[in-house]
Amino acid sequence: MKNLLQLLPLVAIGLLFWLVLIRPAQRRQRALGQLQRAVDVGDEVMLTSGIYGTVRALDDDAISLEVADGVILRVVRAAVGSVVTTPADVGAGEAALVPDEPEEK
């Protein structure tokens, strides 16, 4: 019984370590994996290296990324750090724009 009470603080420290460090890191990693799998043609993405581009083609483990007119890079999906815009976002933004009309006098 006394040995069990001596072991209890170590178990508590291990549990606290898991709750504070390991569990949030696993959640972030899972969310990033879902984001990388959800990338679609036409999405504007930022790679983990800071390069921005538009997805032009998808393979199982790689994407073709257009970083400038006519410049296509082939990178692994794991290099995608975030999705900047999706085609649906761009269409919604354009629909919200209303052309200016001259005022009547």
CA 96 vs CA 18, 41, 53, 84: distances in Å? 46, 23, 24, 19
Phi, psi (deg, nearest 5) at residue 62: -140, 160
Please provide the distance, in angstroms rounded to a whole number, between the alpha carbons at the two ends of the chain. 92
The CA distance from 86 to 38, in Å, is 11
pLDDT in tens, 67-87: 999 999 999 999 999 999 766
Question: Mean pLDDT score of the chain, rounded to an integer?
Answer: 85
Note the pLDDT of residue 69.
94
Which pLDDT band, with edges at 50, 70 and 90, does 91 fall under? low
- Which amino acid belongs to residue 2? K
pTM of the model: 0.64
